[in-house]
Amino acid sequence: MTECWSTVNAYMEISVFVGEDEIYMLLDPTGELPDNSKLHFSTMAIVSSIMPTSVDPSSSGVYVFHNTSKIFGNNANQLPTYLRLSTSSRRHAKLRLAASISKVPLKLTREEKHQDHVASPEKGHDVFEEIKHRFLTFKKDKYMDNLERFQSLAKSQSPKFMVIACADSRVCPSEILGFQPGEAFTVRNIANIVPTYESGPSETKAALEFAVNSLQVENILVVGHSRCGGIRALMTMDDDETEEDIDSRSFIKNWVVIGKPARSISKSAASELSFDQQCQHCEKESVNCSLQNLLSYPWIEERVNKGTLTIHGGYYDFTECTFEKWTVVYKERSCIERKLAVKDRSIWS
């Protein structure tokens, strides 16, 4: 027998959702729990089939689900599981269940479950009330609907993509490209810059090493975007300003100076255009420079040459909601001459 219990001195909210084939029980403590109890209450219990639910009056607040296949782990296989709650929680309205719920044909829609359990934050609450609301909505509507998937991800990850994107709050790769948990190992920095193998800060390099050598991703996608503040900072630097000239206290300039080759190309190619248009040109050119820099890493170039790794560029224009994508064609001479060949360029609009 597996017993999950807590000596909580506060109320606990319990929501039970019964479908045709499953029972969902959500434990939501409203007070601070002891450390040794948080693990129990951070997980949703799923009962594989609808069986009678009973209350043992001799035990305070004990609810029994018979023939449980999985609850708080795998060690409760086909054994009765008892969930012991604090005495005060017995008085909660949601605990007043019938002696048998297997006869109740309850099928809640996603909208009904949302309205029943996840209450919208009231006006005047602090910002974390809204964040809590979003988390509980995610847990109920996404985590529980894909429980096996999330349990598998808890053991390991094997993403096919590494995404390098800007830290801009308007650019969220998982939102605009639909990446789900476990699908993309993501790095975000100012102006989506990739330093060369030989120089530059090591944070992005460490992420590249882990993604390519340990996770063995099959694709690297560098995503630039419109109205990038980092690129604008790069474009406003003096033409003759070098890394040695930059004030060591200016972290932004010390970082974006890595993109000076893209700046030079844009200044030359778009010299007759307005400053805003030059910035837009550089936003795309900086992606190409980052792609070129990726090939300076020997273990990336080796995999690209073998065909086990492909690198791509992307540009998200959030003013028009379009996405441009292209793929690098590996040529050894291109690496030496630092000229990038691309294919499969397309615009999604």
For residues 158-175, average pLDDT: 96
Question: What pLDDT sits at residue 4?
Answer: 40
pLDDT surpassing 90 at residue 170: yes
Question: What pLDDT sits at residue 214?
Answer: 98
C-alpha closest to that of 289 among 310, 260, 315, 314: 260
- Angstrom distances, CA of residue 103 to CA of 17, 53, 110: 14, 11, 21
From the number of C-beta atoms within 10 Å of its C-beta (0-12, 13-18, 19+), residue 209 rates as middle
pTM above 0.85, yes or no: no
Cα–Cα dist 283/261, whole Å: 12
Within the chain, residue ranges assigned H as helices are: 35-41, 110-117, 127-138, 147-155, 173-176, 203-209, 229-235, 251-256, 260-269, 275-294, 298-306, 332-337
Domains of the chain, by residue range, sit at 2-105, 108-155, 157-348
270, 263 Cβ separation under 8 angstroms: no
pLDDT surpassing 50 at residue 209: yes
The string of DSSP codes covering 74-133 is STTTTEEEEEE--GGGGGSGGG---S--TT------HHHHHHHH-PPPPTT--HHHHHHH
Cα–Cα dist 294/219, whole Å: 12
For residues 240-266, average pLDDT: 81
Q: Who contacts 309 (Cβ-Cβ below 8 Å, separation ≥6)?
A: 212, 217, 218, 219, 220, 300, 303
Cα–Cα dist 96/15, whole Å: 11
Dig out the tokens for 2 from the structure: 């597996």
- Binding residues, as ranges, are 166, 168, 225, 228
pLDDT surpassing 50 at residue 1: no
Mean pLDDT of the chain, nearest integer: 75
Provide the 10 A C-beta neighbour count for residue 140.
Answer: 21
First to last CA, the chain: 57
CATH 3.40.1050.10 fits 157-348, yes or no: yes
Q: At 29, is the pLDDT very low, low, confident or very high (cuts 50, 70, 90)?
A: low
- Binding residues for Zn(2+), as ranges, are 166, 168, 225, 228
pLDDT surpassing 50 at residue 321: yes
Side-by-side strand order, sheet with 322-329: 184-189, 161-166, 219-225, 310-317, 322-329, 341-348
Task: Identify which has the larger pLDDT, 125 or 171.
Answer: 171
